[in-house]
Structure 1
C-alpha cells in the first residue's frame, strides 16, 4: 500500500491515515468530516490518494483518488460544498496547472478547467462572491510568479486577475472582514533561483475584488516565508513565525489592523518555528502547532496566543514532532492535526486531536 505504516495509538493521538504524507491539504466539509488530499511521500513521489476523517467515529476511510498526484497544492471549500484543488507539483520539474473538484455527496473527483499558469506553493482564497482568488506560486526554476487568477465555479472558468507588485511563493492570502484579501510575505527567488539566499519578503498587498486591483500596503517589520496568518475575531490579522534569511527561524509575531493599515509587533512565541500551523479556536485564541526549528529539527511543542492579553502560553505538546502538517478546527471545537514530516522518521501517517 502506498506509504502505509503501522500505527499504534498513543496518548493524545487518534487513528492513523492509510498513507504517510506531508505538504498535503486538509479541508473541513459541510458534513463535519475532513478531506485530506495529495501530499508528498518521499523523494520525487507525489500522492494522488485522498482520505476522509469522521470525527464522530474517530475513523479514517480511503476515498476515490485524484486524477493527478500533487503536493504543494491548494484545496478550497466552495459554497456548493464541493472542494476545489488547484496546481501543485507532480515532480520536482513540473508545476501543475490542472484543477479538480471533489463532490462529497458522490465521493467523486471531476476534472475542472485548468489554471492559466502552472504553479505550486501558491495561495487560494474563497471570495465573498463564491469565486476563488489564486495568487503567486512557483512555476519552474527560476520562475516565481506575480500573476493572479480567479476561478468562477458557476462557469468552470479561470480568468487572469491583477498582478502583485512582487513575485512570491510560500506566502499567505487571507480574506478580511471587508471582503478584501491580505497577501503577506513569502519568497522571491529571482535572480538567485529556488530558495536562494536573502530573498524573504516583508511586503504586503491588498486585493480588492470590487475593482480587481491589487495594491501594495504597509510592510511587516520582519521579512518572512513559510509563516502563518490568522484572521482574529476583532478583524485584525495575526502573523506568526516563518523563516528569514537574516535571522533563520522566527519566533516573532505581528498584528495587522486593516482599519489603520498598520502593522504592530506583538509578543514573541517561546519557540522559533516555520512550516508550522496556526488555528483560530472558538475562544478567539490561536493555537500554533509544530514546525521546524532553528536547530534544524521538527517540533512537537504547541503554544496559544490570547489576543485580549497579547500573551503567548505554552500548552500540551503533540505526541509526535512534525512540520509541513495540517491543522483544522472541527465542529466540536477540537483541532485535528495530520501527517507532516519528522526528522529522520520521514513522512508521517499519524494524526492527533487537541482538546482546548
Structure 2
C-alpha cells in the first residue's frame, strides 16, 4: 500500500501544467464542503473505508497533474502555501465532519486556494484514493458572481452536474415558451478553474428537451423541438463524460417536448406527457399534448410503454420522485378550446402517482389550483413543495401566480406566497434541504417578461433574498458540490435569450 509520503514523492516528480479532470480517481475517498462564506462555520467532510488514514492538503495554486497509476492530482505541491490542513483516521461510520470557523474578514474575498484529499483504500489498485478537488473562493452570503459566458445564448436548455463536479449545459437557443428555437451545441462549466468551455455537438439540436443524470454519471437527453422548425423529436442521446461525447440511443416511443423525465430508484428513467407538435396554432400545439408515458432501461438501452396512461394529457407538468420511490406528477396543460376563434389553453388540476413496481399510474390528490410551468421539490420531512406556475384566467392566456402549496402525502395545503408571480422559475434543493427559488417568467404565457425575485423556503417560512443582478426567466441551474448554485442562460425581460452565467452563494 502506498503511503502519503509516497504520494507526495510521486507528485513532486510529476509537477507540470497538463489539464485534466479533478473529480477523484474512483477509490472510496470523498471530500465535501459547504459554501465558502465569510463570517460563518464551514463544514468539511471526509469519507472512506473505516480505520483508513486520510489527509487533506491545501495549496495556493492548481496544477492539474495526471499521475500514472494514481489519477489526477489537482494542487501544486511546489506552492509556498502547500500544507496538510486535516489528517486522521476514518471512523466506523465511514465519514467525519470538521467545523471550520471562518472570520468576518473582507480580505478573504480576494484570492483563491485549492484543496484535495488523500484517503488510503486497501481495496483500490495502488492503495491510495484521491478525492474531488475544490477551489476555495470565499464569497459574501446571498451574493451573485458573474462567470464567463456560454458560447451562445440559451433558453429552454438543460444543465446537469457531472461526477467530477463539472456541469454540462446543452441545447436551447432563442425563441420563446411557445416558439422555442433549438441548438445542437453544448458548454461545460468547470468550477475548479471557473471557466466555461465549448463542449461537443449533440447528435440532434434540441430545446424544451429533458436531460437526466444516470446512476453511472452519464446524461440521457431526450425529445424536444429539433432543428426543423416546429418539429418535435422522439430521438435520445447519451453524453458520456469519460469520452466527452454524445452518442445516439434508442428513440422514445412517442415524440415529446415540454415533457418530464425522472430517474427512478432502480436506475430506469420515466418520461411523461409533453406535446408531439410545435407547429401551427396554439390550440394545435396544446391539443397534441399526450397522457402517455414510457420507461428507458439502462440495461437494455430500450424504451417500453407504461402499463397505463396518466389520467390527463400534460404539457409542462412537474414530476418529483418521492422518498418511497413513487413519482408524483402534477397539473399542466391538457389541451385547448376555441372561443370566438381564440385558442384558450385548458389546464388540469389532476395529479398521478407512478409506481415503479407495477409500471403503472394511479390517481393522486389534485393540486389546489391548476397550473403550468410550476416547480415541485421534496422537503427534508418528505413533503412536496409546489411553487408558482401560470393559472387559467377567464377568456385569456394563463397568467403567472405567486401561490405555493404543500403536499403531506395525503392532502394539499396552502403555503406562503412567493415575492413575485412566476412560472418556469428556478427551484433548487440546497445542501441543508432548504429551497432556493429565483427568477422566472412573469405575465402571460403568450406575452411574458422576467423576474428578479429570489427567496428561500425552510419548510415553514419563506424569506425574501437579494434580487438577481438582472431579470431572468427559463434559466437552467445546477447545485455544485461546494453547495453553490450555477445559473445559466434564460430569457431577459424582452424574452431574448442570453449567454450569461452566475454563481450564487447561499446563506449559511
Q: Which structure: larger Rg?
A: 2
Residue correspondences, number: 342
Offset of residue 198 of structure 1? 4.8
Cα shift readout 1:138-158 (whole Å, capped 9, x = no counterpart): 012331100000001110100
TM-score (norm 2): 0.65
Partner of 2:156: 23
Partner of 2:37: none
Partner of 2:485: 335
Change (3 A) 1:54 1:178: same
- On the 8 A contact 1:13/1:319 being kept in 2, the answer is no
- On the 8 A contact 1:325/1:338 being kept in 2, the answer is yes
Alignment of 1:213-252 (within 5 A): 213-246=360-393, 248-252=399-403
CA RMSD of aligned residues (A): 1.8
Offset of residue 262 of structure 1? 1.1
Offset of residue 72 of structure 1? 0.5
Offset of residue 202 of structure 1? 1.4
- On the 8 A contact 1:66/1:109 being kept in 2, the answer is yes
Q: CA–CA distance in 2 between the matches of 1:102 and 1:153?
A: 13
Q: CA–CA distance in 1 between the matches of 2:224 and 2:234?
A: 8
Q: CA–CA distance in 2 between the matches of 1:324 and 1:92?
A: 20
Offset of residue 114 of structure 1? 0.5
Offset of residue 221 of structure 1? 0.8
Do residues 178 (structure 1) and 290 (structure 2) align?
A: no
Offset of residue 192 of structure 1? 4.8
Partner of 1:284: 433
- On the 8 A contact 1:144/1:190 being kept in 2, the answer is no
Partner of 1:69: 205
Q: CA–CA distance in 1 between the matches of 2:416 and 2:335?
A: 30
Offset of residue 45 of structure 1? 3.5
Could you tell me which of 317, 322, 332 is aligned with 2:472?
Answer: 322
Could you tell me which of 245, 253, 273 is aligned with 1:108?
Answer: 245
Offset of residue 44 of structure 1? 6.4
Change (3 A) 1:213 1:11: closer
Partner of 2:453: 301
Cα shift readout 1:272-318 (whole Å, capped 9, x = no counterpart): 111111001112211111012238421122111121xx221111111
Q: Which runs of 5+ in 1 are unaligned?
A: 1-9
- On the 8 A contact 1:225/1:243 being kept in 2, the answer is yes
- On the 8 A contact 2:181/2:225 being kept in 1, the answer is no
Partner of 2:350: 203
Give secondary structure in 1 for the equivalent of 2:160: strand
Q: CA–CA distance in 2 between the matches of 1:146 and 1:53?
A: 35
RCO (CA 8 Å, sep 6+): is it higher in 1 or 2?
Answer: 1
Q: CA–CA distance in 2 between the matches of 1:254 and 1:196?
A: 28
Offset of residue 212 of structure 1? 1.4
TM-score (norm 1): 0.92
Deviates more, 1:101-110 or 1:245-254: 245-254
Deviates more, 1:158-167 or 1:311-320: 311-320
Change (3 A) 1:329 1:93: same
Q: CA–CA distance in 1 between the matches of 2:401 and 2:159?
A: 25
Deviates more, 1:24-33 or 1:39-48: 39-48
Partner of 1:354: 504
Give secondary structure in 1 for the equivalent of 2:276: strand
Q: CA–CA distance in 1 between the matches of 2:441 and 2:365?
A: 28
Deviates more, 1:18-27 or 1:315-324: 315-324
Q: CA–CA distance in 2 between the matches of 1:110 and 1:82?
A: 11
Change (3 A) 1:178 1:192: farther
Change (3 A) 1:330 1:190: same
Give secondary structure in 1 for the equivalent of 2:372: coil
Q: Which runs of 5+ in 2 are unaligned?
A: 1-142, 278-283
Q: CA–CA distance in 2 between the matches of 1:300 and 1:266?
A: 21
Partner of 2:115: none
Q: CA–CA distance in 1 between the matches of 2:216 and 2:347?
A: 37
Q: CA–CA distance in 2 between the matches of 1:66 and 1:189?
A: 31
Cα shift readout 1:217-241 (whole Å, capped 9, x = no counterpart): 1111111000111111111110000
Q: CA–CA distance in 2 between the matches of 1:268 and 1:121?
A: 26
Give secondary structure in 1 for the equivalent of 2:335: coil
Give secondary structure in 2 for the equivalent of 1:21: coil
